[in-house]
Amino acid sequence: MKNLLPKLWMFIAPVVLLPSLNATEYEYYTWKPETWVNSYGKSPQCMEIPEDLRLCFNVGYHQMLLPNLLEHETIAEVKQQAGSWVPLVHKACHPGTQVFLCSLFAPVCLERPIYPCRWLCEAVRDSCTPIMQAFGFPWPEMLNCDKFPLGDVCISMNTTSSDDTDKSPGVTSVCPPCDNEMNTDGILEHMCASEFAIKTKIKEVKIDNLDRKVILQKRRKAVKLGTLKKQDLKKLVLYLKNGADCPCQQLENLGSNYLIMGRSVGKQHILTGIHKWDKSSKEFKKALKKLKSHKCSAFETMFK
């Protein structure tokens, strides 16, 4: 995956701007546990960011504070909760997503806690909320941008970074559940954001206000039922949220079998992923084999 990380900047508003930092330029301050104690009475300690903390291992610095700024007290808890956000970073909805999230999940070791700037939170929230809503997840209250500082010292980013993804005017992004490659990790990530998965063909697609209503063929084979009951499977209709105008190539080819994933949100069933059912693909076959044993991060716990 292309490295989407801009350089980290430390802002002291409104007057002083410190130099940009990256993995090679970063200088660690000596951590003094007596300097501050967090709200639940534990002095944070500095530790190496473990390689299996996928969200933040390559963020641009090597050590983090624990407990972190989300009050996770163990590295096991951090890994579980942070894992839920890896697919969102892969969607590249904003170039500062990983910087913002890691400033909270794996805060850099300094002599005082440094929170993300409110404007960075708002920029990531505004860019990524449509992606999250497409999968049936709201922006969580725990990341309420009003909690983060307007001034003082805060984590920001270089908005002129060459790593920013430019979008040509008039080009509409592919609908998030349809924007996927035939690779094992991508399929499993979509599966983890879903409650159920089935093999079927699509009978018809209709525009329903801002959504697309996906009507399935009668023949449906359950791959993973999850919260879905067998009687629900027979009358299942899916909605591609905010998908009336975005491209989805899979929904234009109604003759193919698809691995269709979804989750229940209120009274609707939301389409969260659609992959062509292609047994000739090694990646697809590998994903199907891993499906039963694959351990997913706690999405339901995270996105609240």
The CATH number assigned to the domain holding 234 equals 2.40.50.120
Within a domain: 285: yes
Q: What is the dihedral of CA 123, 126, 128, 130, to 10 degrees?
A: -170
List the CATH number of the domain containing 117: 1.10.2000.10
Give me the pLDDT at residue 198, please: 92
Whether residue 126 sits in one domain with residue 208: no
Q: What is the pLDDT of residue 124?
A: 96
Q: What pLDDT, on a 0 to 100 scale, did the predictor assign at position 6?
A: 32
Across residues 180-207, what is the average pLDDT? 86
Boundary-marking domain end, from 157, 191, 221: 157
Residue after which a domain boundary falls, among 157, 186, 215: 157
The whole-number average pLDDT for the span 227-256 is 89
Domain region containing 134: 8-157
pLDDT of residue 296 exceeding 80: no
Residue 197 sits in the same domain as residue 232: yes
Do residue 139 and residue 228 come from a single domain? no
Q: In one letter, which amino acid is 199?
A: K
Q: What backbone torsions phi and psi does residue 66 show, to the nearest 5 degrees?
A: -140, 130
Residue 208: the pLDDT is 93
* In a shared domain, residues 139 and 183: no
- Residue in 119, 176, 142, 135 with CA at minimum distance from that of residue 69: 142
pLDDT by residue (tens digit) across 46-98? 999 999 998 999 898 999 999 999 999 999 999 988 988 988 888 889 999 99
- Tell me whether the omega of the peptide bond preceding residue 107 falls within 30 degrees of 0, making it cis: no
pLDDT of residue 161: 41
Q: Which residues of 146-166 are buried (b: 16+ CB within 10 A; e: fewer)?
A: eebbeeebbbbbbeeeeeeee
Q: Please give the backbone phi and psi of residue 212, each rounded to the nearest 5 degrees, phi first.
A: -115, 130
CB burial of 28-44 (b: ≥16 within 10 Å; e: otherwise) equals: eeeeeeeeeeeeeeeeb
How many domains does the chain contain in total? 2
Question: How deeply is 48 buried, as exposed, middle or buried, from its count of CB atoms within 10 A (0-12, 13-18, 19+)?
Answer: exposed
Mean pLDDT of 122-146: 92
Q: What is the largest CA-CA distance in the chain?
A: 66
Do 188 and 260 sit in the same domain of this protein?
A: yes
Same domain, 113 and 204: no
Domain end call among 101, 126, 157: 157
The average confidence (pLDDT) of the chain is 78
Dihedral, 240, 243, 244, 245 alpha carbons, nearest 10: -160
Comparing 160-169, 199-208, 238-247, the range with the smallest average pLDDT is 160-169
